[in-house]
Structure 1
Amino acid sequence: MKKLLIAAALSAATFALAPTAASAQASSYAPGNFWSVQGIYIEPGQFENYMDFVADRYRRNQDFAKSQGWISGYRILVNVNKRMDEPDLYLITEFARIPDAKEQMDRDAAMEKNLRETTRQAEQASGQRVSMRKLGSNILMQELTLRAK
């Protein structure tokens, strides 16, 4: 439900910020893909354990989403020169558009089938990872592609 509310709000914001056809031609940029950036705070001594999860379960989820055309790619970045209160790791997902509510429900069902687990089981597994990490910031950005002059 939370995903649906966020998607609806973001879709509304995107339409509100979209340039009109006349102004789009005069603009020096074009809207591009969306980037979801999730900051992860790793608990002391748990980096290798969390990376085991990322290399297995997270990668399987992302590879499945990519095979379905839902995302165009994903990245895992470590914060090398971390300052106080900054995440240790960033999980980044790139996608062209935000799905509507029905499509999100269809995607969730397909993901459950692929993983062979229910949403409740996935939530329980996420809760068990609390010993390894804390979920931090979750930012949604949209790329702007500069037009040729």
Structure 2
Amino acid sequence: MKLIKHTLLTAVLTTGLASGAAIAQQQNTQAPKAQAQAQKQIQVTEKQVENFVDAYVSVQFIGQEYQAKIQSAGDQEKAMKLQKEARGKMETAIADSGMDVEKYREISLAANQDKALRSRIAKKISAELESRQQAQKADS
């Protein structure tokens, strides 16, 4: 069980922070500005980390759900429609977590560059995944 959780967390962190930033960058052409802000060592509050983790985990699950749909779409037009739908759901998940896409991107970029912030986020992601897993078992 711990191995699965650790493996999942490692996979999420290694691919997710980068893909989360990439998804967020697609939404806003001000990415250079956000990168410059992230390089200034932004201060991220504990509440912002919690909101980010909630959004991040939701975005990852949406991405996983839509990845299979997009790969089996059959034609490029349908795949692009599914990508747009996924982006919309991701934006909604970010907003539902209490932050905007720009702040999500800023924290994601900062976490890629700041080991301490990345560690704070990793611990919260681990706890969030465990919590969701337990909730899922309770629903079964």
- Judge same fold: TM > 0.5, yes or no: no
Greater share of residues in helix: 2
Greater share of residues in strand: 1
Higher relative contact order, structure no. (Cα contacts within 8 Å, ≥ 6 residues apart): 1
Structure with max Cα Rg: 1
What TM-score, normalized to structure 1? 0.28
